[in-house]
Structure 1
Amino acid sequence: MTANRKFIILLIFLIGVTSSFWLVSRYPALDNKAALSGSENFEDPLTHEAHFHAPRKASFLTKVAYTTLNWYETNWRGMAFGLILAAGFFTLLKYIPRQSSDRRFRNSFMGMFVGTPLGVCVNCVAPIAKGMYEGGSRMETALAVMFSSPTLNIVVLTMLFSIFPFYMAVMKLLATFILILIIVPLISEKTRAIPEKQTFEFESPTSCQHNSNQLSWPLAFQSASLDYWKSFLYIFARTVPLMLLAGVFGSLASHLWSFDKLIGVPVNLLNLSLLSFMGTLMPLPIAFDLMLAQAMLMSGLSPAFVTTLVFTFGTFSIYSALIIYRTFSLFLAVKLFMIVFVVGIGLGYTSNIFLEYRHINWLAKYDTIIDSPETRSNAHPPKEKLQGSVNNYSPVPMTRYAAPIILTQRNLEIHALAHAPRNKDTGKPFTQRIATELGITYSNSLTPKIFLDPLFFGRGIASGDFNLDGWPDIAVATNNGFEIYQNMNGTRFKKIFSDIEALNGKQAINIALVDLNNDGWLDIFLTTFNDGNFVVLNPLPIEGQISVLPIPNGNALLTNASAFADLNLDGFPDIVNGNYYLGVLTRTPVKQAVNQWVLNHNLEFKSQSLEGIPGQTHSVLASDINADGYLDLMIGNDYRVADTYYLGKSNVEFNKIRQQDGVIPLTTQNTMSIDTGDFNNDLIPDIYLANIGMSRGLDVVSNIFGSTMQNVGLEFCDSGTTLLDHNICRDLNQLTTLLNPEKQDITEHCTRLKNAQWIKECMVTRMILVATSRKSPSLCNKILDPFTLNRTYCQKFFQAKHLKISTENEIPMQTQFNLLLSGQTNQTFKNVSEQTKVSTAEWSWNARFADLDNDEWQDLYVVNGVPITQEFASNNFFHNQNGKSFIQAQGEFGLDDYDHSSSYTYIDMDRDGDLDIIANTLYGPFKVYTNNNTEGNSVTIKLIDEKGNRFCLGCTLIVHYGSEDKRQQMREIKMGGGFHSYDAPIAHFGLGLYETIQQIEIIWSNGKVSTIQHEFLANHEYTIHRH
């Protein structure tokens, strides 16, 4: 009876400890690791997150010491649970009669049944296996627990099938089952050996120390506690020193060896043996084994090698071997190590043979499809007739209203024009419409041919008064140059300018309306894929003459982002080029993506490279972030290359901000957009960075091998909330599976598509992915005309000149969250993302500050979505709560939209004093969000500067209003930042209930300051002209 009472007490204790560990620590931690999967770079070689950071220029031994500490910190919870549970099993099994069974296969199955839900790593489960065996369990049961716990729990299996190709996941799973259910029983002892007498000072507990009728429940509790304590000390003394030793060994090995050394090497016995040996040896935390293997796959390691790592990582380790040696024998430890080692090699070979077989079959299918009569008939689809430049430049004459002069002050002249009446629509603040209804006819077409990074990220959009009639017009980049749409009195748009002969057939990506020759008319700046950058001068002041001039970009493949400002104060806006290469395929810094600034002196250009790591740049912004009168630069990079920040000085000098400078504490790892604003109206600039902030984790939503996200995509197509045709929507979701560059699944076939031309384009694009993944440039030659763009794209991959640049002084990066940096009075920035509740968006692109409800406080609108996932998340509208925090209010404001979008422009298209939005979609027409605000007052201010650049880029406005002028706001005229998005050079201020502004302060681009004290009425557009 006593033993039963002690058994019950200890069992309740173990159930409580296990439940607490699962619910509070283990499974939440595993979910977090699943969400963080998709990273190529980790803060530490042995863990996904470093809690202790080695000093810069640390010695080798110091780095090993810090990695060891990080490994201890990462593993201590799992190890503590393992020790507690090991002592529990050791004690518990002493309380029940030993029922040794020679049914070894059944015992292994039962061990797997026990180990699977434990959810502890291969290191932490080793003490549990020891406790079970020395408590009386069979060898095969203990070993099955040890192998199943880190490999078969539900979260790890979900990660396995989510982030790896299906064949790889199946091979890992089958090998694990064979190891546990067949190999373990076969190598285990047929009859349990009688353990040698323990010589340790703590005796193992027994169940016969007291008469079963003598102990009450309190005494049984006391006796069980004493027994457990003795067991714990026994297990602790025999496992913890080995754990400490294993941590040191693993850290030493991780700094002596790097798995990426085998990237690009042939798959042979020597290389597989080396990889399998190191994979079997490394003591990796649970789930980090999969994260590291995936990182290697993303970095270009052969899938055959990755298959070996997927199995050997987390199945065995040096610590497991040490525990088995101390518990069983050296022979068994070596035998198990060799078994895992050999199976890892075999899986690598099997994977390679399978891949080669499928590759040969795929090449044969490629040739068949490319040469088929059906696809040959579509090889040269009819081209649209290219119209001449004269027929495609047809602006509509508009009446220009001369706003009356209300004030002159020295060399300033102020004009005023009342805003148009507000919309009277009731309901939500914004109304969504398809842009074709308003005359914007261009539509992004996403086909397999351009399902490539960065071509499938959408085209740029810009707004500005192109014809100086007072109404803001729209410019969009297209796959044939650009199109300009004239604003027809705020009611609709009309295409007036397109199809320039010099730009025909060019894949334009980014577009801006900027006055590069400083004649007072906005010109068209355009970047193209592999064809350079251009400016198309505004034809209106030169009697309709079409003039297209090239602009240097360092021979970059693509200038993906540009910022404009008068850096040398000569009156002509200069250019900062943010260059890009092949994004997801190249990732690491390449020489061809070096950024530069281009000085412009009346259309004579001179370029100079920028210091810093050349990343895949998505956003460039020139803004005075420290308010010292000099424009600073911000470069936003994707693919885990640190963003670069520069503080401007006189004479066009820029000093790169380093981590140790303490100015920028943190930046984002996959930066898509950068913007500055003043969210709390303290007149100190703040910075917002948009990142890949997937709330469910990058590779959970990129799960193209499992069914979860595929079903999400199909549900979206069936929901009726997308502008896509139902069948096209489903085809695009299929492309996500077929052409995702991150996870090529050889079991998928382009022939599943229904359109013959799409099948051919799919095969051609897939040939690029096959050629680059296999590092085989000769395969590019199989891409024939008319797919010259695709062939060039493939060849560019092999022309990349990769750079190895020290990241020692770079600003730290964070992943998965967007970032709001609040400017401080000491010219540094503080991360306030969490407290202001703006850290979580989704796959963010353009994100900009603007007061969309005219309540005095700048809000944030973030557009989301990318074709390589099947996640359709709504855009995010962060509504500013009096400068203290934000709330997500996209549904309340009518800004919830689940179609993928990457760029937009804020535009007051009807000139009623509230900002509307025109946004692209990645696969269809543009969308218009009309602002129905009827409450908040506002003012709009334009600056015309005849002493600097005409549109006053780089100028700052500060308005004072309210009782005793205590309320204040600041705006900077910027032409840059965001993602492929440019707004008209106009400052918009929401005033809420206030009806007047008492003072306007202007800091001109040359540093001069003008202060205008006057009663400026709200709901007016003011033009301030400096002569």
Structure 2
Amino acid sequence: MVVLTLSGCLAPGLVDTTRPSAAATVTTNKLAVPSPCTGQFTAHDLDHITTAPGEIVRLFDSNGTGLAVGDLDGDGDMDLVLADLAGPVAIFWNQGDLVFTKTSVDLVRRARAVNLADVDADTRLDIVLTTGRSAPIWLRNVDGANGIEFQFAPLPGVSAPAYAMNWADLNQDGRLDLVTGSYDAGMMVEMGSNSLFADNAGVYVYIRQPDRVAFEGHRLATKAQTLAVALEDLNQDRRPDISVGNDFDELDGYWLNAGPPSQPDWQAAMPFDTISHSTMSFDWGDVDNSGHLALFTTDMKPVSQDIDTLAQWLPMIQESYTERPPLDPQRMENTLQVPGAGGKFQNLAYKRGMDATGWSWSGKLGDLDQDGFLDIYVVNGMIAADLLHYLPTHELVEANQVLHNDGTGHFVPAPAWGLGSTRSGRGMSMADLDGDGDLDIVVNNLTSPAQLFENQLCGGESLLVDLRQPGTGNPFAMGTVAILHTSMGDLRRDVRVASGYLSGDAPRLHFGFPQGTTLDRLEILWPDGTVSEIGDLSAHTLLTATRSDD
């Protein structure tokens, strides 16, 4: 282990060099020796099955549930939290070497989204859940008589029903704020149109109060069919904007973070010429290492156009078809919104080879083969007795899709990687779960055991990065941008709470690169706009940078 303290000196790069510097203490630890490579992922079943409350799966239980990844007990290993429609939330405590101990949290059942966020800023990741029928539920991470316990607690001021959510410091005050969206169609089925919660549906921004764990809410939309919320910077002004992905005919919602930093003025916008029709998932990243973020959304479009595939899809499409209004921007396919000249976005999903990945749910970006470029993994499939009544077992069986980035931001299928599970995945996240430096994958399937995919691809190296801000309202530095300058180019990663579909991300950043790549320096743009620079980097290392400002 190596510890050193560096001041935030700056060098030319993607970060604004006029910003003030920040001191950081750096600790490094070597990663575990990887197991022998096989050229593919190895699947492991987890002792968890998400099931529907009834005997058969109907809309909207067919939407399944999410999961999250993060270090809940502070031992350095990534733990797993999986939701269930019929049972309690399950925690898989990572003991190392892909050995997990399962416990259940009986305080909440029928959870949907799972986020891990340090709500009370005590340097412990808490669990926050949605049910779709009520306001988000906070399970506070505290010391108990027999170790860690999770205490049920309200989020004061957060009252609207939520299906999807995300967290970020929206007003640059150093505290995490919350954005939620309701799923009105599902709520009407479960609770009826006369429900008191239905009157409070829609999209909300909740700003954390400065002196206590309490929030002040602002309603952005009175109705929603929200499946995903992204808090990424759409207009490159280094402030998080709001993207809300809606199901059905409800247009996705986009709001730009305008006004003074301390008092955002949320301006509705439509930055894209075309959008997905039923946006299931958001992720964002620099897919061509140009320094610009692209926004990836998933939708429903068959991978193949052969007769057998179309025979399974067409009855459902015909039953749900509605006439589209003129100039409708919605398309039933994935999108990849890539910024071009003047900041105008272009949907390049079709040109880049990733417009169709089946009935897609969680789709995420990650450098799976550690060649320095972000790949894509999408889980898919559908089970619904009322919608797919014409299919055996009422299930559209599809193989999950993994797409390899060819180094230009274009994508090609990589079936040899062994990620083509047909278990009807819903929530999904990527993280290094065995400490060897590469990205593993965990999937919460519907009516089948959850799966962990161990990465045993060959080639490449990595640098893992943890960022910490002790003594602040955002100890895990959510919203930080880190840029690794290398001999192959600049690699950008963002710390965020959630992405994909109902799924929480680990705050640990993964940089992959080819063997022999020279690592020049790591630039860190903290959420408050200050910058740290770290040199003397080594591959196959976990680097922890902790703010140490006086």
Q: Is the 8 A contact 2:417 2:457 kept in 1?
A: no
- Count of residues in Structure 1 that have an aligned counterpart in Structure 2: 508
For residues 885 and 420 of structure 1, the distance between their equivalents in structure 2, rounded to whole angstroms, comes to: 32
Aligned pair 1:1010/2:532, yes or no? yes
Indicate how the Cα distance of structure 1 residues 632 and 448 shifts in structure 2: closer, same or farther if over 3 A, else same.
Answer: same
The equivalent position to 1:852 in structure 2, one of 344, 348, 368, is: 368
Query: Which one-letter code corresponds to 2:162 in the other structure?
Result: T
The equivalent position to 1:494 in structure 2, one of 98, 101, 108, is: 101
Q: Is the 8 A contact 1:666 1:811 kept in 2?
A: no
How far is 1:582 from its partner?
A: 2.4
* 1:590-609 alignment, distance < 5 Å: 592-601=200-209, 602-609=212-219
Give the secondary-structure state (helix, strand or coil) at the position aligned to 1:582.
Answer: helix
Q: Is the 8 A contact 1:631 1:648 kept in 2?
A: yes
How far is 1:903 from its partner?
A: 1.2
Q: Is the 8 A contact 2:66 2:427 kept in 1?
A: yes
The equivalent position to 1:453 in structure 2, one of 55, 59, 63, is: 59
Q: Is the 8 A contact 2:361 2:379 kept in 1?
A: yes
The equivalent position to 2:489 in structure 1, one of 961, 967, 971, is: 967
How far is 1:626 from its partner?
A: 2.6
How far is 1:993 from its partner?
A: 2.3
Indicate how the Cα distance of structure 1 residues 669 and 545 shifts in structure 2: closer, same or farther if over 3 A, else same.
Answer: closer
How far is 1:481 from its partner?
A: 3.8
The equivalent position to 1:574 in structure 2, one of 177, 185, 199, is: 177
Indicate how the Cα distance of structure 1 residues 879 and 696 shifts in structure 2: closer, same or farther if over 3 A, else same.
Answer: closer
Query: Which one-letter code corresponds to 2:298 in the other structure?
Result: A
Give the secondary-structure state (helix, strand or coil) at the position aligned to 2:51.
Answer: coil
The equivalent position to 1:656 in structure 2, one of 242, 267, 276, is: 267
* 1:401-416 alignment, distance < 5 Å: 403-409=1-7, 411-416=23-28
The equivalent position to 1:980 in structure 2, one of 502, 513, 524, is: 502
* 1:825-844 alignment, distance < 5 Å: 825-844=341-360
The equivalent position to 1:477 in structure 2, one of 61, 67, 83, is: 83
Partner in structure 1 of residue 72 of structure 2: 466
Q: Is the 8 A contact 1:996 1:1015 kept in 2?
A: no
Partner in structure 2 of residue 886 of structure 1: 411
Indicate how the Cα distance of structure 1 residues 741 and 447 shifts in structure 2: closer, same or farther if over 3 A, else same.
Answer: farther
TM-score, length-scaled by structure 2:
0.85
Indicate how the Cα distance of structure 1 residues 584 and 866 shifts in structure 2: closer, same or farther if over 3 A, else same.
Answer: farther
- 1:297-352 deviations in Å (ceiling 9; x for gaps): xxxxxxxxxxxxxxxxxxxxxxxxxxxxxxxxxxxxxxxxxxxxxxxxxxxxxxxx
The equivalent position to 1:563 in structure 2, one of 166, 169, 172, is: 166
Q: Is the 8 A contact 1:684 1:824 kept in 2?
A: no
The equivalent position to 1:690 in structure 2, one of 298, 305, 312, is: 298
Query: Which one-letter code corresponds to 2:231 in the other structure?
Result: A
How far is 1:407 from its partner?
A: 4.4
Partner in structure 1 of residue 223 of structure 2: 614
Partner in structure 2 of residue 958 of structure 1: 483
For residues 700 and 511 of structure 1, the distance between their equivalents in structure 2, rounded to whole angstroms, comes to: 36
Indicate how the Cα distance of structure 1 residues 549 and 1009 shifts in structure 2: closer, same or farther if over 3 A, else same.
Answer: same
* 1:391-790 alignment, distance < 5 Å: 403-409=1-7, 411-426=23-38, 428-435=39-46, 441-446=47-52, 448-449=54-55, 451-478=57-84, 479-500=86-107, 503=108, 506-540=109-143, 544=148, 546-551=150-155, 556=160, 558-583=161-186, 592-601=200-209, 602-610=212-220, 612=221, 614-649=223-258, 650-659=261-270, 663-695=271-303, 709=312
Q: Is the 8 A contact 1:648 1:654 kept in 2?
A: yes
Q: Is the 8 A contact 2:41 2:453 kept in 1?
A: yes
How far is 1:493 from its partner?
A: 0.6
Q: Is the 8 A contact 1:554 1:596 kept in 2?
A: no
Q: Is the 8 A contact 2:255 2:269 kept in 1?
A: no
Q: Is the 8 A contact 1:517 1:572 kept in 2?
A: no
Indicate how the Cα distance of structure 1 residues 514 and 555 shifts in structure 2: closer, same or farther if over 3 A, else same.
Answer: closer
For residues 101 and 503 of structure 2, the distance between their equivalents in structure 1, rounded to whole angstroms, comes to: 20
Structure of higher RCO (CA pairs closer than 8 Å, 6+ residues apart) = 2
Q: Is the 8 A contact 1:681 1:857 kept in 2?
A: yes
Q: Is the 8 A contact 1:823 1:830 kept in 2?
A: yes
Q: Is the 8 A contact 2:157 2:215 kept in 1?
A: no
- 1:562-598 deviations in Å (ceiling 9; x for gaps): 1111223333311100111224978xx9754311011
Q: Is the 8 A contact 1:406 1:416 kept in 2?
A: no
Q: Is the 8 A contact 2:156 2:214 kept in 1?
A: no
For residues 571 and 608 of structure 1, the distance between their equivalents in structure 2, rounded to whole angstroms, comes to: 19
Give the secondary-structure state (helix, strand or coil) at the position aligned to 2:141.
Answer: coil
For residues 524 and 409 of structure 2, the distance between their equivalents in structure 1, rounded to whole angstroms, comes to: 26
How far is 1:606 from its partner?
A: 2.0
Aligned pair 1:940/2:464, yes or no? yes
TM-score, length-scaled by structure 1:
0.47
For residues 346 and 473 of structure 2, the distance between their equivalents in structure 1, rounded to whole angstroms, comes to: 34
For residues 618 and 831 of structure 1, the distance between their equivalents in structure 2, rounded to whole angstroms, comes to: 20
* 1:62-81 alignment, distance < 5 Å: none
Q: Is the 8 A contact 1:846 1:978 kept in 2?
A: yes
Query: Which one-letter code corresponds to 1:547 in the other structure?
Result: Q
Identity of aligned residues (%): 26
Structure 1, unmatched stretches of 5+, are 1-402, 436-440, 713-736, 745-806
Indicate how the Cα distance of structure 1 residues 460 and 473 shifts in structure 2: closer, same or farther if over 3 A, else same.
Answer: same
Give the secondary-structure state (helix, strand or coil) at the position aligned to 2:536.
Answer: strand
Give the secondary-structure state (helix, strand or coil) at the position aligned to 2:301.
Answer: coil
Q: Is the 8 A contact 2:171 2:264 kept in 1?
A: no
For residues 536 and 814 of structure 1, the distance between their equivalents in structure 2, rounded to whole angstroms, comes to: 37
Indicate how the Cα distance of structure 1 residues 498 and 585 shifts in structure 2: closer, same or farther if over 3 A, else same.
Answer: closer
Indicate how the Cα distance of structure 1 residues 607 and 658 shifts in structure 2: closer, same or farther if over 3 A, else same.
Answer: closer
For residues 816 and 472 of structure 1, the distance between their equivalents in structure 2, rounded to whole angstroms, comes to: 35
Query: Which one-letter code corresponds to 2:375 in the other structure?
Result: D
For residues 44 and 318 of structure 2, the distance between their equivalents in structure 1, rounded to whole angstroms, comes to: 34
Q: Is the 8 A contact 2:50 2:83 kept in 1?
A: no
**Alignment RMSD, CA only?**
3.1
* 1:188-227 alignment, distance < 5 Å: none
Indicate how the Cα distance of structure 1 residues 656 and 742 shifts in structure 2: closer, same or farther if over 3 A, else same.
Answer: farther
Give the secondary-structure state (helix, strand or coil) at the position aligned to 2:373.
Answer: coil
Partner in structure 2 of residue 1026 of structure 1: 547
For residues 480 and 635 of structure 1, the distance between their equivalents in structure 2, rounded to whole angstroms, comes to: 28
How far is 1:532 from its partner?
A: 3.3
Which one has the bigger helix percentage?
1
Query: Which one-letter code corresponds to 1:893 in the other structure?
Result: W
Q: Is the 8 A contact 1:569 1:1005 kept in 2?
A: yes
For residues 741 and 593 of structure 1, the distance between their equivalents in structure 2, rounded to whole angstroms, comes to: 28
Which one has the bigger strand percentage?
2
How far is 1:418 from its partner?
A: 0.9
How far is 1:546 from its partner?
A: 4.6
Q: Is the 8 A contact 2:176 2:473 kept in 1?
A: no
How far is 1:852 from its partner?
A: 0.3
Indicate how the Cα distance of structure 1 residues 811 and 992 shifts in structure 2: closer, same or farther if over 3 A, else same.
Answer: farther
Query: Which one-letter code corresponds to 2:62 in the other structure?
Result: F
Q: Is the 8 A contact 1:680 1:857 kept in 2?
A: yes
